[in-house]
Structure 1
C-alpha cells in the first residue's frame, strides 16, 4: 500500500488534498461543532470561513502576489464547501446562528463529566443537579445517538473500507531520528527519494467498520489488553484495570468493558491514567528508571495502592498523583510546578540533548536566523500591505493605520457564558475597540464614538474606548465578542459589522512545520503548526454616529 501511494505521488497522479483545496473532491462536506464558537471566536479569519465554508457574501480580498506558489489556485474560488453545519451548544453563539442544525446541549449542572487543568493539581466531577430539560441532552448521549444513526446508514452506504492515512512523524517515538542533523531534503524537488516515515509522513492503511461505530463507542476494544496504553514513550500494562472496570462498569455481549454511559466513561478515564491510579504511575516510573538509570518510582510509591474513582471526585475535588504523564511533582503534598522531575531527579528533557536547549541547528531554523533566542521586531505591515494606508477615505474622512491585536478577553462570554446585565455593562453592551488618545485625536474620535476598522480581511463596526493606557499605533479588540449584540451595518460594505476575527487571518510560522527532528517532531496539542493570528495592520475611521441594524 505505502509503495503504491509513493509511486503515485512521485508520478503526480496522486496529490495531497492540501495542494488543491479548491477541488470539490477535497471539500469538507459535513462539520459538527461541539461546544465551541468556531465562527465567532476561534476561527482566525472569520470572513474567510463565512465565504469559503458557508458561501456567504463576505468582505475578503486575496492579492495575486501573496498566493502560495505550490498550491493550485482556482479563480472560481471555492465557496460554500459545507453541505451541513451542525452545532451542539447551550448558547446561541455566532456558530449556532449560522448552523443548519442546532442540537441543544446540557450545561455543566445537567450531566456527568470530568474537569481538570494544568493550572491546578485537582480533578473535579460534574454532576447533574437536574436532568437535561426539554430536548437537551448531554454531550455523551448526543454523540452516542449520532453514532447509532450513522452506523445504521453506514451499513448500506459504507460498510467496511480501508482508509489510507498520511500520519505525521510523532514526538517521543523513533520518528524523532528521521532527519538526522536537521538536514532537510525535499523529495518533491528531486533532492531525495520519498520514503514514508523518513522524508515524508508515514503511510498507514486502516480498516474501518463504519456500521460498527455506535457499538464500538460503547466499549473498550481489545487493543488495550494486547498493546497497553502509551504516552510520552511510556507503555502502561492495564490488565488489572480492565478487570476492575469489567466489574465496576459491567460488560457488553462480547465481554468488553462497557462505556454505555457518561459516568462509566469517567470511571474508565480515572482508572486508566497514572495521575489518578497510583499503580499505573508507579509502573510508569519503574519503566523510566530502567531507561534512565535514575531513581523515580518513589515519587509515586506513597500512592501505589490508591485509585481515584468517580465517586471520589463527586464527594470533593481530588488532588492528582505524581505521574510520568507530566513533568511536575505532587509527592509529599507539594504543589505542582513544571519540570520538577527533570530538575530534581535529572530525568532528561524530551529534547535532542536531553537538557533545556537553546541552540537549534535545524536547516530551517538556520535559514531564519533563529538558532538562538532572538528579538524579532514586528513586521512592517504597511510595507507588505500598501493598500492599507494613512490618509483619507473616499468621502474625505480621516483614517489612521494601526497595529490591531486581539488579546484574551477580560469581560465577555468567557466570564459568565451569558450576556447578562453585568457583562453588558462592563463591555458597554457590544463590540468595542480600545485605542490611544493620540490615534483617536488624529481622526476626530471621542470616547464611545462609533468607528469602523477595516483591512483586506474584513470590516468591523465598534465603539471606541479611548484610553491613555493604550500606546499610539496599537489598538485592542478583545477576544470572544459574539456577533449577536449591538452590531450595526457597516458603511463600507453595507453588511453587518464583524467580530474580532473579521480582521485577522491565519499565518503559520514556517519553523512550526518542522518534523522528524528531536523536539521538533509533531505531537497532537503539544508541538505542531500554530497560527500567529493576533497581529494585523488595520485602518480605522470615524463613521456616522447614526447607525442601523
Structure 2
C-alpha cells in the first residue's frame, strides 16, 4: 500500500510538534504494540458485557424483578441476573494494525446501532478503493484508515446520516420490524455521501437516518422524536409507547418508579468554605452546569468571525446578577472556576436569566483562542470539562429492562450525571497568554 502523502508530525504546517488526536493515539498504540511482543502477545480475557439497548436478550428480561444472587442460594446466570460473560481474544502486538484498518467483522457482522444492523459491505469497498488496503501484517487486505483524514472519511462513510445508502437500508429494516412507512424519509439520497473534503469546505446538511429519532427530510430542522410522533414508529419501551412508570425493584426501592424531583447533592460539604484570594478577592461556590452551547452543536467551526462574535471571542461562564455582585464581577470580566478536579478561566456573562446559586458553562467551548493562563495553576486555563466529573447512582446501572441499559461513554437512563460545584472568583484583568 502506498503510504500517506501527509507529512509526519512536526514537518508539516502544524505548529511546532502538534499532532491531531488520531496521530497521538496512533503513536501510542504503535509503542504498545512494540512493547507487547514477548510480554503480552495474544491473550484471552473474560469480559463482562452489559445487555445492550433493544436487544432480544434485554427484552426477554423478566418484568421488573431481577432476582439478586448475592448472599442467597440463587444462581448467578449470565444474561439473566448477571452481565453476559464473553471470552475476547486480544492480540496486543497488533493494536496499531487494528486501529488503522477496517476489520473483517465489518463484512461478516455489519454495524449495529439502535438494534438496527447495517450491511456495510459497499462502504468497506468504497474505503478500499479510496485508501487502498494493507499488503502485509495482521491487517493484510483490509482498507486503510491510517491517517486522521482517512479516519474522518471512514466515520462519514459508515454513518447513515452521511451515507444515504445506509440510511435507506436501515429504514427498510425498521419498516419490516415495525410495519410503518419510514424509508421515504431518506429515499432519493442513496447516491449521496458526505465526504471529509466537503465538511472542510462548508457545513453540510445531513440525511435523515434511523440512528436518530428526528427528521430533516425536506429541509426541516432536527427535532427529537418526530419519527415516533409523526410516523408512529414505536418508542423503545416495553409497551412501544412513551411511558413513565417503571416497576423495577431498584427504581421502587429508590422511590423513582415515577418521574420525581431530586434536589442537588450538597457537594459544598466536600470543599468547605471558599478561601479569600491572594489579592483579597472574594469567592462564591455555585452549582456548575455544562449546558448545551447557545449558538452551536457539539462540533463546529468556533474560530470563525461569526462564532467568535456570538461567543465573546473565547470561553465564557454565565452568572446571575446577584452572584456576580457578591464577588464584584462585572459583565465581560475574567473569572476563574476551580474545584478539586481542575480550573476553567472564562469571561463572565452576567445575566438576569440565571437564578442565584448556578453557573452555566456551555460545553464544546474550544480552548484554542483567547484562553489566558490560570492564576490558580499558572497553566493554560482549562476547558469546560476540566471542572466536571461523572457521578454514578445505582439506578444508572440497572439494565435488562426495556429502555434502561448502560453502555460505556454514556450511562442511562438519565443524562444528569454532572452534579458538581465550583468555587468562582474574580481574577486579575491583566491576563497573561
TM value normalised by structure 2: 0.71
Match of 1:509 in 2: 393
| CA distance 1:389–1:291, change in 2 (3 Å) | same
1:88-123 Cα deviation digits (max 9, x unpaired): xxxxxxxxxxxxxxxx989xxx9xxxxxxxxxxxxx
Match of 2:357 in 1: 474
Deviation of 1:436 (Å): 6.5
2-side partners of 1:286 and 1:475: how far apart? 46
Gaps of 5+ in 1: 1-103, 111-129, 543-549
Q: Give the 5 Å matches for 1:106-145.
A: 131-145=13-27
2-side partners of 1:193 and 1:373: how far apart? 33
Determine whether 1:309 maps to 2:195.
Answer: yes
| CA distance 1:487–1:166, change in 2 (3 Å) | same
Match of 2:146 in 1: 260
Deviation of 1:259 (Å): 1.8
Match of 2:259 in 1: 373
Match of 1:162 in 2: 44
2-side partners of 1:466 and 1:302: how far apart? 45
Secondary structure (helix, strand or coil) at the match of 1:286 reads helix
2-side partners of 1:377 and 1:433: how far apart? 21
* Pick aligned residue for 2:124 from 216, 227, 242: 242
Secondary structure (helix, strand or coil) at the match of 2:97 reads helix
Deviation of 1:345 (Å): 1.4
| CA distance 1:505–1:326, change in 2 (3 Å) | closer
Match of 1:288 in 2: 174
Determine whether 1:334 maps to 2:220.
Answer: yes
Secondary structure (helix, strand or coil) at the match of 1:265 reads helix
8 Å contact 2:397–2:411 — kept in the other structure? Answer: no
Match of 1:533 in 2: 418
8 Å contact 2:149–2:196 — kept in the other structure? Answer: yes
| CA distance 1:105–1:377, change in 2 (3 Å) | farther
Secondary structure (helix, strand or coil) at the match of 1:319 reads coil
Match of 1:93 in 2: none
2-side partners of 1:388 and 1:219: how far apart? 50
The two structures, once aligned, show a CA RMSD in angstroms of: 4.9
Match of 2:157 in 1: 271
Match of 1:251 in 2: 133
Aligned length: 397
2-side partners of 1:249 and 1:266: how far apart? 12
Match of 1:83 in 2: none
Secondary structure (helix, strand or coil) at the match of 1:208 reads strand
Secondary structure (helix, strand or coil) at the match of 1:140 reads helix
1-side partners of 2:335 and 2:148: how far apart? 48
| CA distance 1:289–1:468, change in 2 (3 Å) | closer
Deviation of 1:202 (Å): 1.5
TM value normalised by structure 1: 0.58
